[in-house]
Chain A
Amino acid sequence: MYLPDGYTTLDKISENDDYAVYDLFFGPNHPGMHGNFGYVLDMVGTEILRVRPNAGQLHRGFEKAMENKLWAQNLSLIPRVCVPDPDPNEVAYCQAVEAILGVEIPRRARYIRSIVLEMSRLGSFLMGMGGVGGALGHYSTMYLMMIDRDLILDLFEALTGGRVYHIYNIPGGVRRDIPDGWTDKLLELCDRLESKLPEWDRLLYENPVVQDRLGGLGYISAEEAMSSGITGPSLRACGVKADVRIDTPYAAYDEIEINSKLSEGGDALARAVQVRLDFEEAVNIIRRLVKQLPDGDYKLDLGNISKLRVPKGDAYSKVEASKGEFGYYVVSDGGLKPYRVSVRGPSMPAGMYLCHKHLRGMKIDDVAVWMASFAICPPDIDR
């Protein structure tokens, strides 16, 4: 039983009374839980005394399975690591393979990858914002946002053939070119999403009840967030200008202007607003990417991709996913299969470490909201 510094296992209430502390299972089968994950809460009344994360319900041994499959076969496994936001996984893996191979992919492929990544981000953000609404009992936001997420999935289907898992990025580029007229539909969708923003603002972010609920919840300072592995929108919500797209540019982000706005405050409200700001910016980034989309090849000819051999070496590649930094550490021994693939999911620090600090002393009311505000996605904790 792990407790952070300064916390003792025995509380003075539980010393005197065996029945004051009881276990409450928050998940895995719980409507407030996003995915299959659980916290065992030791409660006193409605207040949480300590928390034991109960991970592993979604564990499926990805890292082992990837060692037993060809480099190209793994592409079908990888998007399943993070279900709502699959494309960053594909891109991160492909980039790591390309780095070991030492190849540079065509410019058009890099742009297409960026477009796909931003679309995936939009879909995931819609799910995340809806999740905050759902955790607050504000189901209308969830219902309305899911329509627009589905429209994004429709475009994905037109581009890649898959609704949720796209398996679109391959080492050397993307699987196929953008079909005719697809970019127009994408721009139409961007307009639609942007026109929806005021409605969502009124429904969710300007709603006084939501502001009362989220304000001050789960505060984390910038310094603490940086040194406890928090990344992505949650870190930017503390006022830290940290974005993998800017810090270590990949795909086409070195040629695209990214004007991330920062919401400051470091609490759940700031994190929710940060997601909304990032959403708006992602729509603009897609517009810029489509505008600058160059002609040319969409992939590099690497021969028969199922017989791909990657030279001995290792590389770490990271991507800014909707929940934070998604990283793949790929080790090759020069064979037909990866020697080791190690995945860094963005949810681990918040879901497995920060929960000890933040949930302690919190009321049961706020657990689901806290989880939604940190966008904790269990599949990438368990892998």
Chain B
Amino acid sequence: MSDNILARAGKMHGDKIECREKYKAQLEIKTHRDYVLNLLTWLKSERYVHLSFMSCIDWIEENEFELVWHVFSYESKNHILVKTRLNREKPWMHTAINIWPHVQPYEQEIHEMFGVYFPGNPDLSGLFLHNWLDLPPLRKDFIAKDYSLALYTTDALGLTPPFDDIDIVEITAEESRDGE
């Protein structure tokens, strides 16, 4: 099963990476932002051809974003989590679109949901949200509940219907009695 990838990675990349085995067949490699693309390219050449997806975590207390690439090999059956940390004030990351083209919508999503910028990605327009002007919604300092209460509740919008549906039900009963 194992292709000894961690040992080889350590030999190849030395102190630029930090790796460990988390669970059975699930490994973790941490590296610096500018080294991620080198590492991903190397992993792909080592037959880690399947990029499952990429995700982002907002570590607000440490003022950092963590990007995670999930890479899997159909031969060694190992799943590798490639992680890197970005500064939360001006987060940007090199795009991996030249290694795995299908990473494009994931980067687009992370840009929309966290505000992480991917220079080189050809389309970072809004993917899911309509007319979004607030903080990117998956950031920890965006409070979804407040947003929902402030926008969607009838109270918040000052909406009192100019008609009364309960009235209709009562009159219906009377009307039907009259009809009989």
Direct contact of A and B (CB under 8 A): yes
| Contact for B26 among A59, A67, A315, CB less than 8 A | A315
Does B43 belong to the interface (CB within 8 Å)? no
Q: Are A228 and B129 in contact (CB under 8 A)?
A: no
Please indicate the chain A residues that have their CB under 8 angstroms from the CB of B81 in the complex: 314, 316
Interface size classification for chain B? 35 or more
A4-B121 Cα distance, complex, nearest whole Å: 11
Please indicate the chain B residues that have their CB under 8 angstroms from the CB of A327 in the complex: 52-53, 70
- Assuming the contacts A315-B23, A353-B104, A353-B105, asked whether A331 and B57 have C-beta atoms less than 8 A apart, the reply is yes
Does A213 belong to the interface (CB within 8 Å)? no
Tell me how far the C-beta of A219 lies from the nearest C-beta in chain B, rounded to whole angstroms: 17
Q: Are A248 and B50 in contact (CB under 8 A)?
A: no
Stretch at the interface among B13-21, B137-145, B159-167: B137-145
Does B64 belong to the interface (CB within 8 Å)? no
Please indicate the chain B residues that have their CB under 8 angstroms from the CB of A195 in the complex: none
| Contact for A354 among B53, B56, B102, CB less than 8 A | B102
Please indicate the chain B residues that have their CB under 8 angstroms from the CB of A354 in the complex: 102
Q: Are A227 and B49 in contact (CB under 8 A)?
A: yes
Interface size classification for chain A? 35 or more
Tell me how far the C-beta of A104 lies from the nearest C-beta in chain B, rounded to whole angstroms: 12
A5-B57 Cα distance, complex, nearest whole Å: 30
Does B79 belong to the interface (CB within 8 Å)? yes
Residue of A nearest to B129 (CB): A56
- The CB with the most chain B CB atoms within 10 A, among A55, A64, A68, A348, is that of A64
Q: Are A344 and B101 in contact (CB under 8 A)?
A: no
| Contact for A352 among B22, B105, B144, B145, CB less than 8 A | B105
Please indicate the chain B residues that have their CB under 8 angstroms from the CB of A242 in the complex: 74
What per-residue 1/0 map shows which CB atoms of B35-79 lie under 8 Å from chain A?
Answer: 000000000100001111101111000000000101000100101
Tell me how far the C-beta of B145 lies from the nearest C-beta in chain A, rounded to whole angstroms: 7
Does A65 belong to the interface (CB within 8 Å)? yes
A311-B104 Cα distance, complex, nearest whole Å: 33
- B residues 98-125 near A (Cβ < 8 Å) are 100-102, 104-106, 113, 122-123
Does A176 belong to the interface (CB within 8 Å)? no
Interface residues of chain B: helix, strand, loop or mixed (majority): mixed
Q: Are B50 and A229 in contact (CB under 8 A)?
A: yes
Q: Are B101 and A248 in contact (CB under 8 A)?
A: no
Q: Are A329 and B68 in contact (CB under 8 A)?
A: yes
Residue of B nearest to A246 (CB): B77
Q: Are A226 and B128 in contact (CB under 8 A)?
A: no
Q: How many A-B residue pairs have CB under 8 A?
A: 103
Please indicate the chain B residues that have their CB under 8 angstroms from the CB of A4 in the complex: 101
- Assuming the contacts A61-B137, A68-B145, A229-B100, asked whether A340 and B77 have C-beta atoms less than 8 A apart, the reply is no
Q: Are B26 and A382 in contact (CB under 8 A)?
A: no
Q: Are B50 and A63 in contact (CB under 8 A)?
A: no
- The CB with the most chain B CB atoms within 10 A, among A53, A240, A325, A340, is that of A340
| Contact for B55 among A226, A240, A342, CB less than 8 A | A342
Q: Are B102 and A228 in contact (CB under 8 A)?
A: yes
Q: Are B100 and A56 in contact (CB under 8 A)?
A: no
- The CB with the most chain B CB atoms within 10 A, among A329, A348, A354, is that of A329
A3-B104 Cα distance, complex, nearest whole Å: 10
Please indicate the chain B residues that have their CB under 8 angstroms from the CB of A231 in the complex: 50
A5-B101 Cα distance, complex, nearest whole Å: 9
Q: Are A63 and B52 in contact (CB under 8 A)?
A: no
Residue of B nearest to A353 (CB): B102
Q: Are B51 and A229 in contact (CB under 8 A)?
A: yes
- A residues 79-111 near B (Cβ < 8 Å) are 99
Q: Are A329 and B144 in contact (CB under 8 A)?
A: no
Q: Which 6 A-B pairs have the closest CB atoms?
A: A56-B128, A342-B55, A2-B123, A352-B105, A353-B102, A59-B128
Interface residues of chain A, those whose CB is within 8 Å of chain B, are: 1-5, 53, 55-56, 59, 61, 63-65, 67-68, 99, 226-229, 231, 240, 242, 247-248, 314-316, 318, 325, 327, 329, 331, 339-340, 342, 344, 348-349, 352-354, 382
9 contacts between A and B (CB under 8 A): A1-B123, A2-B104, A55-B128, A316-B81, A340-B55, A342-B55, A344-B53, A349-B102, A354-B102
